[in-house]
Amino acid sequence: MKTELRLHGHIDDTIEYFATAASQSTDLHHFYQKKERKLRFFAPGNEFILTEEGIHHCGNGGTFCEYMFGVDQPLSDLAKEDVRNRLVLYGTHYNNGQLCFSDNTDTTQTYEQIFFEGNAVSNNFFFLSGPLDSALEQQQKFCLKFLGKALKRTDRISEKDDTLLISSLLGPLPPSCTLYVFRLINKHHLRYQEHFAELYSRHRSIPDDKFADLQNLADELGIDQYQQERIRIDVMYKHPDNRPIVNDYKKVLIDCNRQGYTDKAQRTRLNRLKTLSVRNKIPAALFYALDDMLAVDQQEEQSTSNDISTAKQILGALFQGDAAQPASISNTDMVSLLLAKRYASQNRDHVFEELLLETGKTCDEKIRDGADLSLLETFSAIITFFDRYDSASAHIGQLAFMENFQLTEEQIRSLLGNRDAFNELQTGLFDDLFFRDILQNKYLGRFGRRKMGLLRTGLQDIEAQRLTATQLSQQIGAISSDERLYQSVFNLAKERIRNFYSGYSSNEEQSKLLKEINTELRSQDVISQDIPLQLFRDVILNIKTEAIYIHNMLPKITFTKDRAMREDFLANSGLDRFYVEELEREYFTLNKLDPEDLAQLRAGADT
């Protein structure tokens, strides 16, 4: 018979605790003592003390918590999909990759340290009691043997009720052992996490007024910026629409890290996933966190480019001036730096960012030592152009790949200002930096292509005073409305064809289907007038094309590994490439095929 004793309480208005003692036998006794503002939990050879400031742990055991996304993890943990949790056994350390044990297990931590080093919201501590070896070193080895794998992999750790967690941990232990688990919760962090999760689930792109309310809540609760960002990134990663794409990105980065460089096929896959993330409104911060953790030396396949080499020479020349010839940068050199930044962004080349950071550091040191202020002014001008690049790149990328993204008048005016600044450096530079490559991107869908064409000509027309920012914003909004309507008709038509129509080729069947869709969308207030006939015909054509690909072509492509046939279809079918790739993923999952075969098909086509 399993027996559990559980104590629940609050240290103060911030820290909440749950303490559990569990055993396979009924021989469980009172296991805590309250004395002088301290709460002491004890068993022979072990104690865990809660104070107003923190905890003291004596004996065997350690601490475990769920990994938060973006925190540093051992590569061995990061690479294993089933490893979810951080485990620290007290008195242990790594030496040349080997885990070493000692008897030095006493630990004291403040609550601030606990929620900084571990999970921001919830952390657990544990020890074991029973007929264990007298040496703490051996007791820790016992803990690792019977609990290590379960503690690293359990998905019960984030549940509000510890019953199932305790039961899963107690099972592997010998019947004579008693398990003690103590869970600490930061109530302020939990409240912030729950509020942000609700906002993110509802809005994805959180409105400014809602985010201001969130910041006010953080200020009220006394949560610093670092903890706010940790919590937000973790919540965004766990959203079911984000996790699969981010995990795919992580897998590619791990492969790159292990081989020591990123080859062309891997860069293509990483860029594809980042483009997909823009379409799915996945925050770039999730990818930056992985890039920082799994950065690799750009060697072998990706040697330093001419653009980066030129940038290094230009930035180095900034420090060669003197009072007679203060630091400055020509338009030609600024263009070269922008081309280097574009190359680094497209190829995930961290050398450029490292070069820029080192230049900034050297600049600060030179100014501190009395260098002419023109050096700081020149470097600031470079950073301003890079900020302009980042702003324009983000807005144009979102418009191209993100469904329902709307450029505001303010954003259009910002693009106009950036366009003027870039074109002053070199005629046509803005188009070269932002439109040339994106219009050649295979993942740019037909609505995205229409928006890009309109934005490109619209900015020219505003400059020539043939159009206003308001009018351009409205015209882009009209394309977005067409996109939403197309998607609504497409989804509804597919559903009705799947459920009610065995065939839809005849004019009579299509007329009936069109009438039903018009009626349905009117009832949902999606439309106020009938669907344009051409839009409906496009939907039917694409549904037919999709069926041909899934039922006829894809099985053959999969069997023969015919990359050229796949690429020819994607290039000429008119179907959205992202959508087709999702269909392929579903096909491989449904038929239990090796997803690596699909990755090879895609890599072969893209390289």
Distance CA 189, CA 105 (A): 29
d(CA 606, CA 590): 25
Say how many C-beta atoms besides its own lie within 10 A of residue 48's C-beta: 25
pLDDT band at residue 48, thresholds of 50, 70 and 90? very high
Q: Whose CA is closest to 603, among 243, 263, 300, 260?
A: 263
Average pLDDT over residues 466-475: 95
**Residues 6+ away with beta carbon under 8 Å from 267:** 302, 347, 348
Residue with tokens 């290094």: 312
pLDDT bin (cut points 50, 70, 90) of residue 29 is low
Contact (CB, 8 A) for 21 and 179? yes
Band the pLDDT of 338: cuts 50, 70, 90: very high
CB 189 within 8 A of CB 121: yes
Pairwise CA distance, residues 595 & 602, whole Å: 11
Strands 62-66 and 54-58: unpaired
* CB-CB neighbours of 598 under 10 Å: 18
Q: What is the pTM of this model?
A: 0.69
Q: In whole angstroms, what is the distance from residue 311 CA to residue 478 CA? A: 41
Q: ∠ CA(110), CA(120), CA(199), 5° rounding? A: 150
> pLDDT per residue over 348-398, tens digit each?
777 888 888 899 898 888 888 877 788 888 889 999 999 999 999 999 999
As a whole number of angstroms, the distance between CA 547 and CA 550 comes to: 5
pLDDT reported for residue 49: 96
Lowest mean pLDDT among 46-60, 159-173, 543-557: 159-173
Asked which of 120-129, 253-262, 439-448, 570-579 is least confident by mean pLDDT, the reply is 253-262
| Under 8 Å between Cβ of 293 and 337 | no
Q: What is the number of other CB atoms lying within 10 angstroms of the CB of residue 396? A: 23
pLDDT above 60: residue 502: no
What distance in Å separates the CA atoms of residue 463 and residue 528, rounded to the nearest whole number? 36
Residues of the chain with pLDDT > 70, as a percent, come to: 94
Q: What is the pLDDT of residues 519-562, one digit of tens each?
A: 999 999 989 999 999 999 999 999 999 999 999 999 999 999 99
Average pLDDT of span 262-274: 78
Q: Which residue matches tokens 């980066």?
A: 308
Band (321; pLDDT cuts 50, 70, 90): low
